[in-house]
């Protein structure tokens, strides 16, 4: 029997908080299982997979889904992780090399800043897209970049949300162990779901317009 009223709201909030805490602990544990270096990527993919299914169905076996995804995506996710580390390292090195105050170096730094923003945008949207779409190779990266650029308002929303969450964690450090990663994952997944709904509405609108044109 579903609870309603104040008790029902309290129960739903309690379940929500406990799920977030459980998922965060799983993320930490499985990241450590892979000695962090090779564990954080599959653990993050598994976390976003659980979040997507949770938001889609609200009834998902958390541990089973997390473990299965972690094992099945271990190698592939780490390959993408190597790519992001490589690109991030190249950007970092170039920022160091472009530290001179001469004018042309300032132009280079500006270009590097733009590329870095695009890189961060791609990284933020990569995981929710990776666990939602069936694509191949670099298509995940291209799709993340294109959606981030096409909908900058939602990208900014994600960044502001992450900053707010991290500020909360710094203010209340006791929450970090239970919510630092899972709350960010939940928020990003919610925003990306909105993006996909907007994309679907645009597709439907274009199809309706095409149908009207052909029927004239």
Percent of the chain with pLDDT over 70: 94
Q: What is the mean pLDDT of residues 36-61?
A: 94
Q: For position 215, what pLDDT does the model report?
A: 65
What integer best gives the mean pLDDT of the chain? Answer: 92
Residue 101 has pLDDT above 70, yes or no: no
Looking at residue 63, its pLDDT comes to: 97
Number of domains into which the chain is organized:
1
**Greater confidence, 69 or 101?**
69
What range defines the domain where residue 70 resides?
A: 5-215
User: What are the pLDDT digits (tens) for 6-36?
Assistant: 787 888 899 999 999 999 999 999 999 999 9
Q: What pLDDT, on a 0 to 100 scale, did the predictor assign at position 206?
A: 80
- pLDDT of the residue at 95: 87
Lowest mean pLDDT across 31-35, 81-85, 107-111, 156-160? 107-111
pLDDT value at 1 more than 60: no
Please report the pLDDT score of residue 97 as a whole number. Answer: 85
Give CB contacts under 8 A, 24+ apart, made by 186-191.
186/20, 186/51, 186/55, 187/158, 187/161, 187/162, 188/48, 188/124, 188/125, 188/127, 188/128, 188/158, 188/161, 188/162, 189/48, 189/51, 189/52, 189/55, 189/128, 190/55, 191/154, 191/157, 191/158, 191/161
Q: What pLDDT score does 59 carry? A: 80
Between residues 85 and 104, the one the model is more confident about: 85
Confidence at residue 93, expressed as pLDDT on a 0 to 100 scale: 92
What's the confidence (pLDDT) of residue 208? Answer: 76
């Amino acid at each position: 029997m579903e609870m309603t009223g104040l008790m029902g709201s309290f129960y739903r909030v309690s379940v929500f908080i406990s799920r977030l805490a459980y998922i965060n602990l799983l993320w930490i544990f499985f990241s450590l299982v892979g000695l962090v270096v090779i564990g954080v990527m599959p653990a993050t993919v598994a976390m976003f997979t659980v979040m997507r299914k949770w938001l889609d169905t609200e009834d998902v076996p958390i541990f089973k889904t997390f473990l299965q995804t972690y094992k099945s995506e271990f190698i592939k996710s780490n390959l993408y992780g190597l790519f992001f580390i490589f690109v991030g390292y190249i950007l970092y090195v170039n920022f160091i090399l472009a530290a001179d105050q001469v004018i042309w170096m300032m132009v280079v730094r500006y270009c590097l800043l733009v590329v870095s923003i695009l890189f961060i945008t791609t990284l933020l949207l990569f995981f929710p897209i990776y666990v939602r779409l069936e694509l191949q190779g670099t298509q995940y990266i291209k799709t993340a970049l294109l959606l981030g650029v096409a909908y900058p308002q939602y990208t900014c929303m994600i960044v502001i949300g992450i900053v707010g969450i991290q500020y909360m964690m710094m203010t209340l450090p006791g929450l970090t162990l239970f919510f630092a990663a899972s709350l960010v994952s939940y928020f990003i997944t919610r925003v990306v779901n909105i993006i996909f709904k907007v994309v679907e509405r645009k597709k439907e609108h274009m199809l309706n317009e095409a149908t009207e044109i052909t029927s004239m």
